[in-house]
Structure 1
Amino acid sequence: MGAFPWHGRGPVVALPPGMRCMSSNLYKIPTLAKNNTCSSLRGARSDYRQLQRFSTSRTSQNGALDRTRNIGIIAHIDAGKTTTTERMLFYSGFTRRIGDVDEGSTVTDFLPAERARGITIQSAAITFHWPPGEVDETSGPQTGEQNEKAPRSSYPHTINLIDTPGHADFTFEVMRSLRILDGAVCILDGVAGVEAQTEKVWNQASTYRIPRVIYVNKLDRDGAAFGRTVREVSTRLGVYPAVCQIPWFHGGNGPFVGVADAINLQGLRWKEGEDGRTVKMSNLEQLEAEEPALAAELRRARIALVELLSEHDEDIVEKFFECEEDHLAVLPADIIASLRRCVLDQSSRIVPLFAGASFRNMGVQPLLDSVVNLLPSPPEAPDPEVSISGVKGGLRDLLSGDLIVEQSKKASVPAKGKQPKRKHGALQSSSRDAISKLQSCALAFKVVNDAKRGVLVYVRVYSGSLDRNSLLYNTNLQISERAPRLLKMYANDAVEVDSIPAGHIGVVVGLKQTRTGDTLVSYSGNKATPPEPLISLQLRPIAVPPPVFFTSVEPHSLSEEKRMHESLALLLREDPSLHVSVDEESGQTLLSGMGELHLEIARDRLINDLKAKASMGRIEIGYRESTLGISKPITKLFDKEIAGRKGKACCTAVVEPLDEQSTPQEQDEATLLDETYDGNQIIVRAPGLQIDRSSRTDEETSPFLPPGMDTVTFRTALQNGAMAALARGPQFTFPMHNTRVTLTINPATDLFGNETTTSALSSAARQATAAALQDVQFGAGTTMMEPVMNVIISVDEASLGSVVHDISSSRGGHIISLDEEVPLAGTDAAGTSESALEEEAPPPIDPSRVYAPPDPFETPSVGEEIPAAASRPRTIIAKVPLKEMVGYLRHLRSLTAGRGTFVMTVDRFENMSAQRQKAVLTELRGGF
């Protein structure tokens, strides 16, 4: 056993620094002078980019596309996503030093808020090559007979990597990144196992049919349990973990020193305290001599891996029989090929699983090899769904013309059933001509407002090539914009390029209208508008999740209000999961989002980056007031001069409660108005008012009405007066709700000719209604009402009892139903469409059939398997007062270990109990 620079396949010869060995191929890489204080990070990136020039040649795009990987890092918060990304950049030669999250020196976490909190807030895109070297489309495992068995990791590949957030508040940031990826690496904390956000992003990746591999991190920490984590993968994520590596603990129960590779039957050991570039490799015979227990477990891992693959892949069964049914004799290349087939097969539930400790620089290089070997290239990824003129299909069908022909047939059928053959053929021909002239099709999946470069639009190009200065047509907004500059992003650094080929991720600078989720197409001829049917082309849009946390935003002065709303518009363009609304009652501007941290970051962006002079405060809840009894008929005479003109009118009002059980008023000829406004019913009656409908005009008149006044003006004046009185309750000054007002006017006694004006009628109706409300207050009284939300909470079985008790006892809500199905109309609290997943739910996996190596110091509590019933999803439908839902998200997460989610909509206003009314009034009065 000897020390060698990492090369991915068995040891060959020791190389001098700066050289890399893979099989028989040598690749020159930049010297990583970690201790050289004179070398800067920016200089290393410049050298790296000179080595890896971004090729825009049309002839080399297809070859380079096979050696391209668009991957994302997904995980729960603090699982090690950014730490793993930093090691990937270091080993690929992109950086000269390893960044540290705690020091705030990482490449991908470049925002001040990210470095201050030590978390990822917005996804960062970065491009590097693995193995280090320039991608050559003429070489690779697909060319040459001598390279048939060579792994893909023997040849340099371009990796476009996106480091995504792990906090639940930034789920939408993960969603819009996932939808444009071809593969993903799911990182698990070896101590915590499968956590709440891991399950959420895993389900989102399943929705978009993204192939994945799993990396169990932090195995160097105390309490790490690799075997327990493997079993949790099967029970909580519902997949078969194909254990490709097992942890190597020194002496069986000592510190974590490396991994044992079940594919290549070798041990990989890193030296503690080094940068991880040098690894000691041992074959199975050497392991048996040094670590017999590890060697025996490695044999069991290889047998379990081959057996699992044999259940889902027929080709590996043939290889197994060719090796005379010897599990250890199956070639590593055959196992890798079988794993790749299972990963790319959407019906397979096998997911490769690897081990490591990124902070200790262990296990990252084999993970990079697995990304290249197992995850798909853009042509191998699932065909993205598109919609064109209402017809849905795959992008490849669109480019081949099949989807266009289907759309043409649908559009060419006339209403009367006549279908001229010539016209149908012309439609097919024009559609094929249109698709043949389509230069590029891209999806804007992220918009960032950069202080130096302006608005950056991140795009994934799906077909053709997006060229600089090309005219892009936005099919969502139906506008055209020119792309003056194109960038290839390296976290917060960038390199300007002339074009972005298909399958790659880039940035367009200078687009003024494009938002997150818009589809961009370019068409030959440089026309502003592409022909039909391309103007209706839509790549799969993002379902924006409903907000669950809200706060108010107030400008420091009226002069700053316009600036604040402009800044909020920029913020919404960046992050569509934020919502801005204006409360009609209080006049407050309300900002809603996915959680407290989400709004805190939005506030920082609003004040520090966009320089808006505003502050966030408490939400003012709009309470209501309702009558508890019927008033006596109250008559009021208005007799006063208004603006120098005498006004006189009389009106009688009766106020009573309005609810579902109240009997409706009888309609007769005397009823001029019977309508409901804002939860209140207003009835206007004028017995004896003779209406003349014989006029040539549409106006209804009456001889009893004052001159120049028609019935429409008459009842509108009375209605406005009643509404003005209902806007302020008699006891608590809140607007009235569930109140019926009946206004009665006798034309003979209550109207006074020219003295009765519209303003006089409104004033009389207002005074009569207000007096009737006062009469109710001194009689049956009034009560406060509060908005009640219809809440749908999704939890697991283990947390069901505590959440139900909290809703019914602590928050004054009542449970409507408990149901195991999720009736969210295809959208969960994270905004993920799960209808496809719930239609054909796969059967649960028996964890006893899953291979998992024993954990050192394993106890029954640690090794206990999670019962399937405890993790079964349950849904609670309840009605809860809005006041109790302010800040509920954080409380729900604490009750459910972070796994609970909810959505809510306004249901109605309900009367408050005396005890609750007293508590709310005390709070509104400042505790007095």
Structure 2
Amino acid sequence: MVVAPLLRLPQPGLRCMGSTLYKSQASPMKSRIYSQICRLGGQTAPCFSTSVSRWQTETLDRTRNIGIIAHIDAGKTTTTERMLFYSGFTRRIGDVDEGSTVTDFLPAERARGITIQSAAITFHWPPGDGAESQPLERDPSVPKSTVSHTINLIDTPGHADFTFEVLRSLRILDGAVCILDGVAGVEAQTEQVWNQASTYKIPRVIYVNKLDRDGAAFGRTVREVSSRLAVYPAVCQIPWFEGGNGAFVGVADAINLQGLRWKEGEDGRSVKMMDLEQLDAEESSLAQELRRARIALVELLSEQDEAIVEKFFECDEDHLAVPPMDIIDSLRRCVLDQSSRIVPVFAGASFRNMGVQPLMDAVVNLLPSPPEAPDPEVSIGGVKGGLRRLLSGDLIVEQNEKASAPVKGKKKKKAALQADPKDAISKLQSCALAFKVVNDPKRGVLVYVRVYSGSLDRNSLLFNTNLHLSERAPRLLKMYANDAVEVDSIPAGHIGVVVGLKHARTGDTLLSYAGNKPTPPEPLTSLQLRPIDVPPPVFFTSVEPHSLSEEKRMQESLGLLLREDPSLHVSVDEESGQTLLSGMGELHLEIARDRLINDHKAKASMGRIEIGYRESGLGTSNAITKIFDKEVAGRRGKAGCTAIVEPIDETDVSDLADEDTLLAETIEGNQIIIRAPGLQVDRSSRNDEETSPLLPPGLDPSSLRAALQNGALAALARGPQFTFPMHNTRVTLTLNAEEHLFGNDTTTSALSSAARQATSAALRDLLTGPGTVMMEPVMNVIISVDEASLGSVVHDISSSRGGHILSLDEEVPSSATDASGSPAEDNRPPIDPKRVYAPPDPFETPSVGAEVPVSASRPRTITAKVPLKEMVGYLKHLRSLTAGRGTFVMSVDRFENMSAQRQKAVLAELRGGF
């Protein structure tokens, strides 16, 4: 029996972040040393015996950029706090209930006990000075966790309202730890974040938490991992319940064939380690189960990894004789190769300080370093591919070929890059992603960036490909919680902070080019690192300043909110003049209100939360022709247009394009078709540009299309009867060159005005004919309840709320979840949970076996479609029905027409609210 301390405190005052060495008082000498290293590039520094490039490579290999993902209340922040404590970063364990955590630092987070915005923090495991102070050579016969590694950790939210926050954090991760509640198992939001991580091909390990709670079922959770997440769980640890069905006291390690036991009530820094013989003497049933776990682990790995099969035969086909280091190497290969679908599973109880240190060893041993991570996806000029293909120049060649190919209904672009693509790429100094913007009261606006290639240097000119403007980076920081040190450069694979950017927003791609050129060559200006689609907001509320003098301050505060969170939207109602703030859910808007008033000190008030309805026609309008003839700013403008409006179904994707069609495009749920019969558009000109002899001077088909499209979109922004935006509407604009063009008097502004007037008139024509109808958002709702509450919740959804139950205990793919999932995984065959090894759970009866543990609180899942209006305030009602145990997540499915009775009731409520 050995008592081994798992916490080795670092040298006093010495800390690190990535490749930056500095003391807690920000040693200037070490900052200068690091800056000199970055400038030297591949040269040999005089104070080092090895080359700088090799030193940087080894440092990068000992860096882990990981994230914590899970359903709400699974224990993400609690686990993060233990990691910080055991690594020596903090001297006391933070508590979510007390509001003393490091990563949940916002007042709203501490008040509610949930994570709202992702927090980035850095520590070293094992405790030490990070990769910089370690020898370059490592003994391959020992695990990587014997050498101190730098871990950049992102703690993400679990609430469904902050799904976009999780998405933008996942983009910059190389690996992730998915935490599961040992009582609830795989929950609804867990599946959603798992699918999102699959989209970015992020290697993951699973940590089953809360095994100290009554009803915890590790075996059932493992089987749910196979059935609901569609992966093979490689059980690396099994829980140790005292006497087989007593209190949770530790874990048994199937890799090293040993037991780890923590003492109840202590801080978890010391653990009693017992080998297999000692376990046979004290816990014989656990020892036998540990042998079965080792056999199952080796068998599972041998199905995917040839190297472990050879080791197995070398050990005379003895599963227990396979060396632990070979199993770790095999697990690492399988984790990095996601086609194997093998995910390691670990066990613990973070709140009781059990199982966290082995989890951190697994992070170092199994998850990839930045060079080993999957190639991040980039988009350039509408062409998607990997970052390595971009840096080799192949992606730009493909983009040029696509741009030079003629496309029907679109302007034929000229290949802007005539020089060698590799020459252009060689001048690209750095490529970085701004994944987080924080308004720090002391340092100002901090832009967190992940550098993907090259080196981001201080005072370099950064081109923002989203905003198409350049900003200089006056200061660069390496953040270590609240400590920071200025550096001259942030190398590839590392996370840092840029201070002083005035325009950069969350999700923007930043480039620096050789010679500090303000604008890189044309294709690179459209480069997007891991592009993300922001879902449409469904909740909105009005924001009003207390006085006119406070309006400017309020707009500035709203601008800061939008920079930090692009899933928020601000618009102005043309009719009422109100400023409207839109978000993803009730809690999302509540947090935005708190931050606006309390953090940014804006003197404003917010109205009640409303729902964004839509309007749609019930039939086809007559053809309406409008001639715009008016003098604007001293110049006469005259143009005409004919418009027809008709409804379309969301599933209608028919292409109505013909030789007279200039444009057929679907934007925000509406389809715009522009036809110009007899315009004689020539798409084979010498300059690769479209021309037409019938157009007046200064007007080309491209600007004609844009003007008519903008006019139609402006008219569709307000419905004719209920003033809600139009949806599922097709607008067909017809331009007759002889009747609607008037020589030099026809300008783009006149064409846009004519299109707007014609479309608005066609919409009003619907009122005299078929009429219009209101549409409301319908949500995909996944509700998790216990067995006892199932009946009352189903009755409430189907009768009181007008919802439609789709299934029980079965996930139904929806449009929203499909968009965030990985299409490649949908075609994989399902995994039979009966063939997956899982240890028996306490109190599991042999008659029921591996199917369902006997428990009155068996978790059940309800999948339904419910109108959004009925889901406002539903969380409180659900908790009253389920004694506080029910949870739900929802996402927008589609907009549906409302019945006459429901429309009348909603209108009466809206008018009563005003």
TM-score interval, normalised by the smaller of the two chains = 0.7 to 0.9
Partner of 1:480: 470
Q: Secondary structure at the match of 2:486?
A: strand
Q: Secondary structure at the match of 1:901?
A: strand
The one-letter amino acid of 2:24's match is: S
**Is the alpha carbon distance of 1:272 and 1:409 closer, same or farther for their aligned partners in structure 2, counting shifts above 3 Å?**
same
* Pairing of 1:806-825 with structure 2 (within 5 A): 809-811=799-801, 822=813, 824=815
The one-letter amino acid of 1:113's match is: A
Partner of 1:170: 162
| 1:157 maps to 2:152 | no
* Pairing of 1:103-122 with structure 2 (within 5 A): 103-122=98-117
| 1:847 maps to 2:833 | yes
| 1:46 maps to 2:24 | yes
Q: Which of 823, 832, 840 in structure 2 is aligned with 1:836?
A: 823
| TM-score normalised over the length of structure 1 | 0.72
Partner of 2:340: 348
**Is the alpha carbon distance of 1:583 and 1:814 closer, same or farther for their aligned partners in structure 2, counting shifts above 3 Å?**
farther
Partner of 1:462: 452
Q: Which of 93, 97, 103 in structure 2 is aligned with 1:98?
A: 93
Query: Bigger CA drift: 48-57 or 275-284?
Result: 48-57
In 2, Cα distance between equivalents of 1:866 and 1:425? 64
**Is the alpha carbon distance of 1:289 and 1:820 closer, same or farther for their aligned partners in structure 2, counting shifts above 3 Å?**
closer
CA RMSD of aligned residues (A): 4.7
For residues 168-188 of structure 1, give each alpha carbon's deviation from its aligned partner in whole angstroms, at most 9, with x where no partner exists. 221111111011100001111
| 1:660 maps to 2:652 | no
* Pairing of 1:365-764 with structure 2 (within 5 A): 365-407=357-399, 427-429=418-420, 431-618=421-608, 660=619
List alignment gaps of at least 5 residues for structure 1.
8-17, 20-27, 33-43, 416-422, 627-657, 680-722, 739-780
Contact 2:379 / 2:531 at 8 angstroms: preserved in 1? no
| 1:278 maps to 2:270 | yes
Contact 2:268 / 2:353 at 8 angstroms: preserved in 1? yes
In the TM superposition, what is the alpha-carbon distance from 1:128 to its structure 2 partner? 1.3
Partner of 1:3: 3
In 1, Cα distance between equivalents of 2:805 and 2:844? 41
In the TM superposition, what is the alpha-carbon distance from 1:794 to its structure 2 partner? 5.5
In 1, Cα distance between equivalents of 2:84 and 2:59? 20
The one-letter amino acid of 1:529's match is: T
In 1, Cα distance between equivalents of 2:422 and 2:625? 65
Query: Bigger CA drift: 54-63 or 244-253?
Result: 54-63
In 1, Cα distance between equivalents of 2:875 and 2:24? 45
Paired residues, number? 753
Q: Which of 890, 896, 903 in structure 2 is aligned with 1:901?
A: 890
In the TM superposition, what is the alpha-carbon distance from 1:809 to its structure 2 partner? 4.5
In 2, Cα distance between equivalents of 1:665 and 1:475? 41
| TM-score normalised over the length of structure 2 | 0.73
In 1, Cα distance between equivalents of 2:563 and 2:723? 39
The one-letter amino acid of 1:344's match is: L
For residues 779-823 of structure 1, give each alpha carbon's deviation from its aligned partner in whole angstroms, at most 9, with x where no partner exists. xx9999972225252648999999997677445689999999756
For residues 757-800 of structure 1, give each alpha carbon's deviation from its aligned partner in whole angstroms, at most 9, with x where no partner exists. xxxxxxxxxxxxxxxxxxxxxxxx99999722252526489999
**Is the alpha carbon distance of 1:332 and 1:30 closer, same or farther for their aligned partners in structure 2, counting shifts above 3 Å?**
farther
In 1, Cα distance between equivalents of 2:493 and 2:377? 15
Contact 2:613 / 2:776 at 8 angstroms: preserved in 1? no
In the TM superposition, what is the alpha-carbon distance from 1:862 to its structure 2 partner? 10
Partner of 1:225: 217
In 2, Cα distance between equivalents of 1:918 and 1:139? 70
For residues 181-217 of structure 1, give each alpha carbon's deviation from its aligned partner in whole angstroms, at most 9, with x where no partner exists. 0000111122222222211111111111100001111
The one-letter amino acid of 1:99's match is: G
In 1, Cα distance between equivalents of 2:611 and 2:75? 41
**Is the alpha carbon distance of 1:816 and 1:276 closer, same or farther for their aligned partners in structure 2, counting shifts above 3 Å?**
closer
In the TM superposition, what is the alpha-carbon distance from 1:623 to its structure 2 partner? 10
**Is the alpha carbon distance of 1:282 and 1:558 closer, same or farther for their aligned partners in structure 2, counting shifts above 3 Å?**
same
In the TM superposition, what is the alpha-carbon distance from 1:523 to its structure 2 partner? 1.5
| 1:912 maps to 2:900 | yes
For residues 809-858 of structure 1, give each alpha carbon's deviation from its aligned partner in whole angstroms, at most 9, with x where no partner exists. 4456899999997563xx449xx5336246x4322221111111112223
Q: Which structure is larger by alpha-carbon Rg, 1 or 2? A: 1
Query: Bigger CA drift: 366-375 or 548-557?
Result: 548-557
Contact 1:216 / 1:356 at 8 angstroms: preserved in 2? yes
Contact 2:24 / 2:483 at 8 angstroms: preserved in 1? no
| 1:789 maps to 2:767 | no
The one-letter amino acid of 2:62's match is: R
For residues 648-683 of structure 1, give each alpha carbon's deviation from its aligned partner in whole angstroms, at most 9, with x where no partner exists. xxxxxxxxxx9639999999xxxx99988999xxxx
In 2, Cα distance between equivalents of 1:49 and 1:250? 50
In 1, Cα distance between equivalents of 2:348 and 2:75? 11
In 2, Cα distance between equivalents of 1:625 and 1:407? 39
Partner of 2:302: 310
The one-letter amino acid of 1:115's match is: R
| 1:190 maps to 2:182 | yes
In 2, Cα distance between equivalents of 1:673 and 1:342? 61
**Is the alpha carbon distance of 1:556 and 1:256 closer, same or farther for their aligned partners in structure 2, counting shifts above 3 Å?**
same
List alignment gaps of at least 5 residues for structure 2.
15-21, 39-51, 408-413, 627-639, 648-714, 730-767
Provide the identity percentage.
73
* Pairing of 1:221-260 with structure 2 (within 5 A): 221-260=213-252
In the TM superposition, what is the alpha-carbon distance from 1:886 to its structure 2 partner? 4.9
The one-letter amino acid of 2:102's match is: V
In 2, Cα distance between equivalents of 1:622 and 1:540? 29
The one-letter amino acid of 1:788's match is: M
In the TM superposition, what is the alpha-carbon distance from 1:530 to its structure 2 partner? 2.1
Contact 1:784 / 1:912 at 8 angstroms: preserved in 2? no
Partner of 1:24: none
**Is the alpha carbon distance of 1:260 and 1:317 closer, same or farther for their aligned partners in structure 2, counting shifts above 3 Å?**
same
In 1, Cα distance between equivalents of 2:871 and 2:584? 13
The one-letter amino acid of 1:88's match is: M
In the TM superposition, what is the alpha-carbon distance from 1:381 to its structure 2 partner? 0.5
Query: Bigger CA drift: 306-315 or 576-585?
Result: 576-585
The one-letter amino acid of 1:516's match is: T
In 2, Cα distance between equivalents of 1:843 and 1:131? 39
Q: Secondary structure at the match of 2:176?
A: strand
In 2, Cα distance between equivalents of 1:612 and 1:306? 60
In the TM superposition, what is the alpha-carbon distance from 1:899 to its structure 2 partner? 4.8
Contact 1:551 / 1:617 at 8 angstroms: preserved in 2? yes
In 2, Cα distance between equivalents of 1:318 and 1:95? 44
